[in-house]
Structure 1
Amino acid sequence: MVETVPSPVEIAEALTIPADLEFNLPDPEDDQIAEEDFLQKVDDVWKVCDRFDLQTDIWRGRILRAVRDREKVGGEGRGTGFLNWLKNREITKSQAYALIQLANSADTLLEEGNLEPTAINNFSKRAFVETAKAEPEIQKLVSEAAQKGDRITRREVKQLTDEYTAMNSDLIPESVKEKAVDGSLPPRHLAPLVKELEKLPEEQISEIQKEIESNPDVDTVKQMTSTAKSLSKYLDSAAQVETLRDSAVDIESALQEALRLDCLSLTADLVKQATNLEQNVGKLYTLWKKLGSIADRLYVETGSSTPSLRSLLSCLEKLTSEVIELRLDDEGEKMIRLRIMTDE
């Protein structure tokens, strides 16, 4: 039997929301409806809208892709026709390519056999986008859950991503993974730890691994995640502080001492703020030079016929001179003075 392809008109009619989807929303002022029932009815309608929204955007992406590819074949080669098509429909270029990417991801999942077309209806739009961005292994896990009929929201995508990350990372000891498998240590607590451990050198990683192996519980994992985060921040910031580069400070020894005294977070914050200060000093100097240059140019172009402009320049000398003066409050009780001195 030859299968006839439906016409665009037939497709449009099929996509029209039927009468039984003319939603009857619950009255928000009806106090006879229990809060739980009200939220359930609203959520049911939202899920249907979410499904139509996703399906529509996938098809819009396919349409946009077809228009773009047609331009490549028969257009001038500069994409002018495609851009005009977007302009006529008030679609930005970034929106268009986001929809094309969504369509590409949907087609890839379908072509690889990881997802049946009907299973797309089990996704929320955001969950589908998150799945499309994920690694192929995670895409497969999420698709399998959708195939079984599970409702897939971003929370389910995150949960499956966390489980995969925790169970497949070489940074988590096997004994700890076993705890995750039997449910005594939820994988969602291990994923943030893996993310932070990936930023650290081997020596620091091994110390944290020993700690969670000896105490494989949620509190220890959370504490070690915080420690790994502070370690990463300390090492990253210390490498950026110009003042420390030519000094005799032993960064590793200072780190060990901070760990011993349990003040790593404070030490990391100290180094981070030092980085911020150095960067802001550099920005201050650049702005000071720029302001002075503009003031000099304006002074040259003005004269006695522009007393107000000269007065403006005179007042701003507090910021363009070698000593910068600035009041820190409206009352004028706090004044700071900064002298800018360079090797020049």
Structure 2
Amino acid sequence: MPRTPTAKSKPLDGAVIPVPEEINFDLQLPDPEDSKISEAEFQQQINLAWQVCDRIDLQTDVWRGKILRTVRDREKQLGEDRGMGFLNWLKDREISKSHAYNLIELANSADEMLSEGYLEETDVNQFTKRAFVETAQAAPEVRQMIADTAKQGNKVTRREVRQLSDEWTAMTSDLLPETVREKAANQTIPARYLAPLVKQMEKLPEVHQVSLRDTVEECPDVDTLKQVTAEARYLARYLESATQVQVLANSNLDLETALEEALRLGCLNSTADLVNQAAQMEQLVTKLHATWRRINQLTDRLYVDTGASTPHLRSMLSSLERLSGESIDVTIGDPTGEGWSREIRVKIEDDREDEAPVETGDWE
């Protein structure tokens, strides 16, 4: 139940905003797309709602997520500075971007759970935050069972949600053989070994699902489940990474045949890791090139703005030439040379040096 607040609360600007004696969870947030609302009025309504949330338990974070979502959508509607207004709003309140989007996810989960009739608003405080989000992501049948537990006044943690989800998956997934589902039903095989397997198998094409299913059916024990789950994970990693590696996509390589050969030799793990590392390397090279271009732009600008009156700044620019030239030199290890060290040299050749790098936005 919500706690009754004290009479007043002070906002950031120093003005006193009254807080209602009885907190109403149905806070009225401004429409982020309403251009008729002035920025001052919009911020005042947002700040009032944010302060009211200081008096509530889990519903505090649900409403904080709704507030953050409203501010974010307002910035999207204005379309200014590529989301910098939202990021500045977070910075003023010392809220990290990741925490903000976690709260928005919590708000989205609440909207889904309440709109579909699984819960009443008074039931929300029976959940931990992670349990609430995972309940919203669970199968409809699992949601209903967990919601019934919450309505009975029982606390719901992430552990209960995962356990119930695992049991439901183990007993209902068509990806598992009937014999295995029966063992899960009579608890001969713990459900916690089956849910990860199903999760990995769902990422695979049907041909691989059938092969893994047959393996489990031949030997339905815990050791086999662990082995097949690992194999499914490597298969999923290989198939996902292989499509992201440009040097593979641009070649005439038969990726499926290469996969079959890796399976035959028992080196699927190493093959999947190799392809995954290749995908990461291409991404790192792309990021390196963009950073290198940016360093060159800033260096050129500072060289124009500086002169003989700034010898130390000029000296700094000269030192950074090891990173801004066509050949990038970096020393790893002991930079003084007294201990172990190694110099790494990378040469960058851009076939379109005159084109500006593509910028990316801040929105998620």
Q: Given the two structures, how large is their TM-score scaled by the length of structure 1? A: 0.69
Q: How does 1:123-134 map to 2 (within 5 A)?
A: 123=126, 125-126=128-129, 127=131, 130-131=134-135, 134=138
Query: Which residue matches 1:300?
Result: 304
How far apart are 1:196 and its partner, in Å?
Answer: 0.7
What is the rounded CA distance, in whole Å, between the counterparts of 2:195 and 2:212 in structure 1? 15
Q: Does 1:335 align with 2:343?
A: yes
Q: Does 1:253 align with 2:223?
A: no
How far apart are 1:81 and its partner, in Å?
Answer: 5.8
- The answer to whether the Cα contact below 8 Å between 1:138 and 1:161 also exists between their aligned partners in 2 is yes
Q: Given the two structures, how large is their TM-score scaled by the length of structure 2? A: 0.65
Q: How does 1:1-344 map to 2 (within 5 A)?
A: 63-68=24-29, 82-89=45-52, 91=54, 94-95=64-65, 123=126, 125-126=128-129, 127=131, 130-131=134-135, 134-144=138-148, 152-330=156-334, 331-332=336-337, 333-344=341-352
Q: Are the structure 2 counterparts of residues 195 and 309 from structure 1 closer, same or farther at C-alpha, using a change threshold of 3 Å?
A: same
How far apart are 1:87 and its partner, in Å?
Answer: 4.6
What is the rounded CA distance, in whole Å, between the counterparts of 2:183 and 2:295 in structure 1? 61
- The answer to whether the Cα contact below 8 Å between 2:27 and 2:49 also exists between their aligned partners in 1 is no
The C-alpha deviation readout for 1:288-322, integer Å capped at 9, x for no partner, is 11111211121122223332222222222111111
- Give the partner amino acid of 2:26: R
- Give the partner amino acid of 1:298: L
What is the rounded CA distance, in whole Å, between the counterparts of 1:251 and 1:104 in structure 2? 43
- Secondary structure of 2:333's counterpart equals coil
Q: Are the structure 2 counterparts of residues 81 and 261 from structure 1 closer, same or farther at C-alpha, using a change threshold of 3 Å?
A: same
What is the rounded CA distance, in whole Å, between the counterparts of 2:301 and 2:149 in structure 1? 68
How far apart are 1:253 and its partner, in Å?
Answer: 1.6
Q: Which has the higher contact order (CA 8 A, sep 6+)?
A: 2
Q: Are the structure 2 counterparts of residues 267 and 135 from structure 1 closer, same or farther at C-alpha, using a change threshold of 3 Å?
A: same
- Secondary structure of 2:329's counterpart equals strand
More displaced, 202-211 or 240-249? 240-249
What is the rounded CA distance, in whole Å, between the counterparts of 1:183 and 1:61 in structure 2? 49
How far apart are 1:124 and its partner, in Å?
Answer: 5.1
Q: Are the structure 2 counterparts of residues 279 and 305 from structure 1 closer, same or farther at C-alpha, using a change threshold of 3 Å?
A: same
Query: Matched residue pairs, number?
Result: 283
Query: Which residue matches 1:46?
Result: none
Provide the identity percentage. 43
Instruction: Mark the runs of 5 or more structure 1 residues left unpaired by the alignment.
Output: 1-10, 17-59, 70-74
Larger helix percent: 1
What is the rounded CA distance, in whole Å, between the counterparts of 2:328 and 2:107 in structure 1? 54
How far apart are 1:104 and its partner, in Å?
Answer: 6.0
- The answer to whether the Cα contact below 8 Å between 1:64 and 1:96 also exists between their aligned partners in 2 is no
How far apart are 1:183 and its partner, in Å?
Answer: 1.8
How far apart are 1:249 and its partner, in Å?
Answer: 2.6
Instruction: Mark the runs of 5 or more structure 2 residues left unpaired by the alignment.
Output: 5-20, 31-35, 55-60, 68-102, 353-364
How far apart are 1:62 and its partner, in Å?
Answer: 7.6
- The answer to whether the Cα contact below 8 Å between 1:212 and 1:221 also exists between their aligned partners in 2 is yes
Give the structure with higher Rg (CA). Answer: 1
The C-alpha deviation readout for 1:15-42, integer Å capped at 9, x for no partner, is 89xxxxxxxxxxxxxxxxxxxxxxxxxx
- Secondary structure of 2:306's counterpart equals coil
The C-alpha deviation readout for 1:229-266, integer Å capped at 9, x for no partner, is 11010111111111112223321122111111211111
- The answer to whether the Cα contact below 8 Å between 2:235 and 2:268 also exists between their aligned partners in 1 is yes
Q: Are the structure 2 counterparts of residues 211 and 308 from structure 1 closer, same or farther at C-alpha, using a change threshold of 3 Å?
A: same
| RMSD (CA atoms) | 3.9
More displaced, 276-285 or 76-85? 76-85
- The answer to whether the Cα contact below 8 Å between 2:127 and 2:150 also exists between their aligned partners in 1 is no
- Give the partner amino acid of 2:273: D
